[in-house]
Amino acid sequence: MRRAAIERGQSLTEFILRSACTEAELALADQRRFVLDDKQWKAFTAALDRPAQPKPRLRRLFAEPSILEKKRP
């Protein structure tokens, strides 16, 4: 671990902390898996297969200039 920390230009503490944070993120990312029974799976796939419904408020929002596009006074 010391050698790896040196290679990265970090202290041993920084290296260990960063490695632990990365591992924690990976562990939490694995939590995205979910299990459904047949009835739930059918409802889920039916929701995905439904045609998109227009959202007028969302359309208006995207039609407005973004904060980055607005001119400053």
Classify residue 6: in a domain, yes or no.
Answer: yes
Classify residue 68: in a domain, yes or no.
Answer: no
Classify residue 43: in a domain, yes or no.
Answer: yes
pLDDT of 40: 96
Backbone angles phi, psi at 13, to 5 degrees: -60, -45
**How many domains would you assign to the chain?**
1
Classify residue 39: in a domain, yes or no.
Answer: yes
pLDDT of 58: 93
CB 1 within 8 A of CB 12: yes
For the record, the structure tokens of 4 come out as 């790896």
Range of the domain at 35: 2-63
Sign (positive or negative) of CA dihedral 18, 19, 24, 27 = positive
CB 9 within 8 A of CB 18: no
The pLDDT tens digits of the residues spanning 5-63 come to 999 999 999 999 999 999 998 888 777 777 899 999 999 999 999 999 999 999 999 99
pTM of the model: 0.41
